[in-house]
């Protein structure tokens, strides 16, 4: 009887850990496309920074291609230095995993701290894949304000570039 209870507990624990991992292992339906060009990247960053300026936030915006290579970067004067690297990291995470970084933030906030050890995953809102014609062409990352404000700026940037942001999974 004791062995059955222990086995049941182990099964429940494995399922609790495996379910979110399985969800993240399922690729989003968007394949990678041709990498984002400089002009589209500039539009995305400009849209993000316009949203930040409108709200009085000082942020950095980075746009990477599908391989995580920096294509465009800009920041508002007075943005804290650390936000520059974080914006790039958020963009790289969103491009690599083809999902908003908010998905990782939600998992960690829900107690799934194992995602803190997932190489390349940034569990802070503000990174969004850029999807054009159903294909991921890169990603934008924004940092410097609260994570929700960074996310709002990143969405504004995606909109300005004519890209949609996939729903988080």
Check which CATH number belongs to the domain holding 43 and give it. 3.30.450.150
Q: What is the model's pLDDT at position 30?
A: 83
Q: Is the pLDDT of residue 16 over 60?
A: no
> Does some domain include residue 152?
yes
pLDDT tens-digit readout, 65-108: 999 999 999 999 999 999 999 999 999 999 999 999 999 999 99
pLDDT tens-digit readout, 111-132: 999 988 899 999 999 999 999 9
> Does some domain include residue 166?
no
> Does some domain include residue 134?
yes
* Domain count within the chain: 1
Give the length of the chain: 169
> Does some domain include residue 25?
no
First to last CA, the chain: 39
Share of the chain above pLDDT 70, in %: 80
Tokens of 37: 């060009």
> Does some domain include residue 11?
no
Strand-pair partners of 60: 75, 143
> Does some domain include residue 132?
yes
> Does some domain include residue 3?
no
Residue-number span of the structural domain to which 149 is assigned: 30-160
Pairing of strands 127-132, 60-65: unpaired
Tokens of 57: 């936030």
Average pLDDT over residues 8-32: 52
């Amino acid at each position: 009887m004791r062995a059955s209870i222990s086995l049941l507990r182990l099964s429940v624990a494995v399922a609790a850990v495996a379910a979110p991992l399985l969800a993240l292992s399922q690729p989003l339906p968007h394949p990678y496309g041709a990498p984002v060009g400089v002009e589209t990247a500039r539009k995305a960053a400009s849209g993000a920074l316009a949203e930040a300026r409108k709200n009085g936030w000082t942020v950095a915006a980075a746009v990477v291609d599908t391989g995580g290579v920096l294509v465009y970067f800009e920041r508002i004067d007075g943005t804290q230095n650390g936000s520059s690297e974080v914006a790039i990291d958020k963009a790289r995470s969103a491009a690599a995993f083809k999902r908003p970084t908010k998905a990782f933030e939600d998992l960690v906030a829900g107690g799934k701290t194992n995602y803190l050890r997932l190489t390349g995953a940034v569990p802070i809102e503000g990174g969004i894949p850029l999807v054009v014609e159903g294909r991921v062409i890169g990603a934008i990352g924004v940092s410097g304000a609260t994570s929700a404000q960074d996310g709002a700026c990143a969405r504004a940037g995606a909109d300005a570039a004519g890209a949609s942001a996939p729903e988080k999974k």
